[in-house]
A and B are shown apart, each in its own frame.
Chain A
Amino acid sequence: MIVLLGVVVVILGFVTRRNPVLVVGVAGIVTGLLGRMDPLEVLAAFGRSFADSRSVTVYAIVLPVIGLLERYGLREQARNLIGRLGRLSAGRFLTVYLLVRQVTAAFGLNSIGGPAQTVRPLVAPMAEAAAERSTGAKLPERWREKVRSYSASADTVGVFFGEDCFIAIGSILLITGFVNSTYHQDIEPTQLALWAIPLAVCAFVIHGARLLLMDRQLEREMAVAAAEHDLPLPEGADK
C-alpha cells in the first residue's frame, strides 16, 4: 500500500504546479525506494527505462528542417494559401484535418502528422489564417491561443482514435500480447481493430462538432466586439 505514495507525490506535484521534471524525478526515486529497491537498483531502473524510451524523443530530429523553412516564410505561406481557399473557417479546416489524421492513422500512417511535423508549421498557422479570414479581423490573443490549442487537439484526437483501427499498431499488439500470454488465448488483432471503429466514429462526431462550435463561438464574440467598437460613445464619455 505504501508504494501508492509515489502516485500521491505526482498528483501533489502537478496540483501545486512544481517543475514537472522535478516532480517526476522525485516520484520515481520515492516509489523505487518505497518499493524496497536499493539505491543502485533505482539508478539502474532509471537508466534502463530511459534508454528503452528513446523513441519518444525522436521528433527532435524534425526541428532543424522546420526551423529552416520557418526562416524562409513557411508559416506565412501557409496563411497565404488558406487565405485563397474560399470560405474555409478554422473549425471546418480543423475538422477536415481531424478526418485526414484519423483515416491515415487507421492505415498505420501515424507518424506523418504530429505537433512538430505538421501542427506547428502548417495546421496551426492555417487555422489561424482561416479564423482571421472568416471573421474579417485580427484575432485577439486569447483566441489565437485557443485556435492553436484546438489545432493540437485535432491532431491528438485524430491519431488516438484512428490508429486502433489498424492491426499492427502498438496498442493492439499490446492487448493481444498481454492477453494471449497471460490467459492463454488466441485473440486476433483484426477482431480488436473492428471494435475500435465505432469509437473512431464517436470521436470524429464529438470532436468535429466541438471544432465547428468553436467557429460559432468565435464569430459571435467577434461580432459583439465589433458592435461594441462601433457603438457611439455616450455623451461626455471623453471627459
Chain B
Amino acid sequence: MIKVEWLYWLIGLVFVVMAVQMAADRSNPKRWTSAAFWGLLGLTFPYGTGVANATAKNGDWTLPAEPLGVAVLALIVLAGFNFLGKGVPVTTTGEQREASAARLGNKIFVPALTIPLVAIVCASVLDESGLFETGKATLLGLGLGCVVALVVGMLVTGEKKLSVPVHSGRSMLEAMGSALLLPQLLAVLGSIFAVAGVGDQVGDIMNKVLPDDSKYLAVIAYCVGMFLFTVIMGNAFAAFPVMTAAIGWPVLIQQMHGNEPAVLAIGMLAGFAGTLCTPMAANFNIVPATLLELKDQYGPIKAQLPTGIALLGCCTVIMALFAF
C-alpha cells in the first residue's frame, strides 16, 4: 500500500536537494540563509511523520512536537525578516523557447496533461483497489502524476540532465519565497485559535447581540457571520463549527425548524464565499499571485471580491426562502 507519508518524504527530499543547490549558488546574495530555510523546511516533512504518528497513536514510531515547533519559529524568523534571496536563474531565452515550441508542437502538452490524467485515474479507478492509503488517493494521484509527468517530460523534450528540472523548480520556489510557507502557517494559526477558545468567544458575542425571534435576522447573522469569520480565519472549516454552534443549530434549526441539510450546506458555502475575499486564504489567493508573477499580490482577491459578495447574497436569499 502506498502511504501519503512517502509523498511527504519525497517533497522533503526535493526541498533538501534544492537547498544544497542554493548553498552553492553564488549569484544569490543570501545563499546561506536561503539554503537554511528551504533545507529546514525539507527536514520538517519526514520529522512531521513522527509527530503525526504521535497524534494519531497508531503504534508507529513517534517524535515529540516541541522541536518541530522550534523549527517552525526558525522558519518564521528566516522568512519574516527577509533572509530569503534569489539566485539568477539559468534558463532559455524567449527566442529559444519559441523555437523549441515550434519544434515540439503540441507534444509539449503531453507531460502537462499527464499530471491531471494520472490524478483522475488514481482518484477514480484505483481508489477502491487498496493500492493507496484510504482517503488519500487524490493527493497521492497528484504526487504520482508529477513523477510520471517528469519522466514523460524528459523523454518528450529530450532533456537528459535531471538537474535541469530541479533547477527550474528551484527558481520558481525562490520566486515564490515565503508565500509557499503561508498556507501551512495559517493552518497552524487556525488550530491555535481553536485550542485557545477564540471560537467560543465569538459564539458568546453572537448570542448576546442577536434578538430572539427574527428568522431573517438569524439567517443573515449566520451567513454573514460565516463569511466574516472565514475572512478572518482564512478557512471556512474553522468558522463552521463556531457559527453553527452559535446560531446555525440552536437558533435556525432547533428554534425555527429549518431544514437541516439546507441550513448547514448553505452556511458552509457562505464561508466559501468569504474564502474568495481574504488574504488569509493564502493558498487560494496569495500563492496564485506569486505563481503568476503579479505585481499586485491582491490581484486575484480583487478579481474575486464582487463574486464573493454576490454569492454571500445568494446564500442568504436561498436559505431564507427555501430552508424553512
Contacts and interface: CB of A to CB of B under 8 A. Distances in A.
Interface of A: 1, 3-4, 6-7, 10-11, 14, 19-22, 24-25, 27-28, 31-32, 34-35, 37, 40, 42-78, 80-81, 108-113, 115-122, 124, 145-146, 148-153, 155-157, 160-161, 164, 170-172, 174-175, 178-179, 182-183, 185, 187, 191-196, 198-199, 202-203, 206-207, 210
B169 A161 contact: no
B305 to A, nearest CB: 9
A12 B76 CA distance: 18
Interface residues of B, number: 142
A1 to B, nearest CB: 6
B164 interface: yes
B101 A73 contact: yes
Q: Give the interface centre of A56, A78, A192 by most chain B CB atoms within 10 Å.
A: A56
Given A19-B80, A43-B70, A61 B299 contact: no
Nearest to A1: B201
Contacts of A1: 201
Contacts of B186: 24
A183 B102 CA distance: 62
B291 A111 contact: no
B197 A3 contact: yes
A21 B185 contact: yes
B91 A210 contact: no
A176 B191 CA distance: 20
A203 B51 contact: no
A103 to B, nearest CB: 13
Given A64-B166, A196-B269, A210-B307, A44 B66 contact: yes
Chain B binding surface, main DSSP class: helix
A60 B52 contact: no
29 contacts: A20-B178, A24-B186, A25-B80, A31-B192, A35-B197, A37-B195, A40-B66, A42-B69, A43-B69, A46-B65, A51-B48, A64-B14, A68-B153, A68-B168, A69-B112, A71-B164, A81-B109, A109-B124, A149-B302, A156-B276, A156-B304, A164-B269, A171-B236, A193-B265, A194-B261, A196-B265, A199-B269, A199-B311, A199-B318
Given A32-B195, A54-B52, A160-B276, 4 more contacts: A25-B76, A46-B73, A52-B191, A161-B269
A20 B282 contact: yes
Contacts of B120: 109, 112
Contacts of A155: 288
A117 B115 CA distance: 8
Interface in B84-111: 91-92, 96-102, 104-106, 108-109, 111
Contact of B196 (A3, A160, A198): A3
B165 to A, nearest CB: 4
Given A10-B232, A111-B138, A69 B310 contact: no
Contacts of A202: 310-311, 314, 318
A115 B164 CA distance: 22
Nearest to B48: A51
A187 B116 CA distance: 32
B245 A182 contact: yes
A21 B181 contact: yes
A57 B184 contact: yes
Contacts of B212: none
B15 A115 contact: no
B227 interface: no
B314 A199 contact: yes
Given A20-B279, A196-B269, A74 B264 contact: no
A35 B307 contact: no
Contact of B65 (A4, A47, A116): A47
Contact of A149 (B139, B244, B294): B294
Contacts of A115: 287-288, 291-292
A71 B289 CA distance: 21
B210 interface: no
A134 B171 CA distance: 33
Given A60-B14, A149-B303, A25 B73 contact: yes
B206 interface: no
Nearest to A4: B201
Given A19-B80, A80-B101, A171-B237, A121 B201 contact: no
A206 B198 contact: no
Given A46-B73, A61-B146, A145 B299 contact: yes
Given A25-B185, A210-B307, A178 B157 contact: no
Contacts of A183: 249
A57 B72 CA distance: 14
Contacts of A51: 44, 47-49, 51-52, 55, 65, 68
Contacts of B288: 115, 119, 152, 155-156
